[in-house]
Amino acid sequence: MERRRETRCIHGEAHRFKDGLGAISVPVYQTASFRHTEPGHNGSGFDYTRESNPTRQYLEETIASLEGAAGAVAFSSGMAAVAACFELLRPGDEVICSDDLYGGTVRLLRDVCGKNGVAVTYADTTDLAKLRAAVSGATRAIYVETPGNPMMRITDIRACAALAHEAGALLMVDNTFLSPYWQNPLALGADIVLHSGTKFLAGHNDTIAGFLCAADQPLCDRLRLIAKTVGNTLAPFDAWLVLRGLKTLHVRMERQQENARKIAAWLRAHDAVTEVLYPGLPEHPGYEINRRQSRGAGSMISFRVDTPETARRVLERVRLVIFAESLGGVESLLTYPLTQTHADVPAGIRERLGITDTLLRLSVGLEHADDIIEDLRQALEG
């Protein structure tokens, strides 16, 4: 019988990691190379750590298991994973992206993919008619984040997969915001799932990592060839840090979501807060679709305050919550998308989406919910 995902967070897919000594924690194979036993044969199946390494391989198998993937490839950062994904495209190909997208991905598409001849079209992927209208004969990929960043908009993954496949394109889903604990896009028809492992997977704001998970083995092999050739694979010690973080993924995700629900409800009732964007609130426009395609709403909340001065005051006055980029860790972090994560998104798109000087994004951590609320209260009212 297949083990439940809580168990697989801790034990991975393999029954035990076989190191010969019975170590419970997977060892860090801090080696660049592996001995060959005779010409053309390496005893262990490992040659050189840029290509493969036992610690990283165990992590990749664990992530693949959690996402229900044929295989996963671990990268030195989320952006390295995103960049490797777009290496599947050729000059003249077009990718259609959600307009509610991580700012670093927008920069990559503009400054790197553009120069390589890959055309990028931004579309409101939450509106299927608009998405369908954007598809052209050159479309080779549809790339979505759901919930989107930072507007928390929900895209219907099943419908996008059908549309992509009809057009002969791949559906790529950045699943960083919900993690495989809450959402498995491959089961909904996606071809590739991306993660910034820096966020919920590692979970402790202490390392940088990224993953690509593929629906089938040939696609996984293509991605692995790119990774080992380009050389942006994850180092063994960082792989070990992610493995250690993963052991508590399920507990963190549940508690962080519980905290987020309380905080979203509190924010909604506050006079200085004019809008709360959290897909766990029934009035959220994507509430029903998110419920159909995931098991939870996660712990990312964006909210709008009454004036830019209030936004500035909150950022300057928070004491427990940290004003910093990133998300998904045990520490609650508050971000100002306008000048931080989304500074590289064109101003016109930012305005159309509502990424303005009154928007704040909160990654709810594992502190006591009441302490986070107290801190936000003193910052908002101080």
Ligand X SMILES: *Cc1c(COP(=O)(O)O)cnc(C)c1O
List of residues contacting ligand X (CB under 6 A): 77-79, 82, 102, 104-105, 145, 149, 174, 176, 196, 198-199, 208, 210, 327
**Active-site annotation holds for 29:** no
Marked catalytic residue, from 102, 143, 278, 336: 102
What are 327's two structure tokens? 């998300």
Least CB distance from residue 197 to ligand X, whole Å?
A: 7
Least CB distance from residue 211 to ligand X, whole Å?
A: 10
Q: Which residue is listed with tokens 């990133």?
A: 326
Tell me whether residue 277 or residue 379 sits nearer to ligand X (CB atom): 277
Tell me whether residue 176 or residue 290 sits nearer to ligand X (CB atom): 176
**Active-site annotation holds for 50:** yes
- Asked if 333 and 220 touch (Cβ cutoff 8 Å), the reply is no
Tell me whether residue 71 or residue 78 sits nearer to ligand X (CB atom): 78
Q: Cβ neighbours of residue 173 under 8 Å, at least 6 residues apart?
A: 143, 144, 145, 146, 157, 185, 190, 192, 193, 194
Marked catalytic residue, from 93, 124, 174, 191: 174
Closest residue to ligand X, Cβ-based? 78
Q: Which residue is listed with tokens 């050739």?
A: 229
| CA–CA separation, 111 and 90 (whole Å) | 16
| CA–CA separation, 252 and 256 (whole Å) | 6
What are 105's two structure tokens? 């991905």
Least CB distance from residue 256 to ligand X, whole Å?
A: 15
- Collapsing DSSP to helix, strand or coil, 359 comes out as strand
Q: Which H/E stretch holds residue 363? A: strand 359-363
Tell me whether residue 196 or residue 332 sits nearer to ligand X (CB atom): 196
Q: Are strands 41-42 and 333-335 parallel, antiparallel or unpaired?
A: unpaired
**Active-site annotation holds for 102:** yes
Least CB distance from residue 212 to ligand X, whole Å?
A: 12
Least CB distance from residue 380 to ligand X, whole Å?
A: 25
Tell me whether residue 71 or residue 104 sits nearer to ligand X (CB atom): 104
**Active-site annotation holds for 174:** yes
Tell me whether residue 196 or residue 302 sits nearer to ligand X (CB atom): 196
- Asked if 63 and 213 touch (Cβ cutoff 8 Å), the reply is yes
| CA–CA separation, 298 and 249 (whole Å) | 12
| CA–CA separation, 142 and 52 (whole Å) | 29
What are 238's two structure tokens? 């960082």
Task: List % helix, strand, coil for the chain (3-state, nearest 5).
Answer: 40, 15, 45
Marked catalytic residue, from 5, 47, 50, 313: 50
Marked catalytic residue, from 140, 199, 261, 361: 199
- Residues carrying an active site annotation: 50, 102, 174, 199
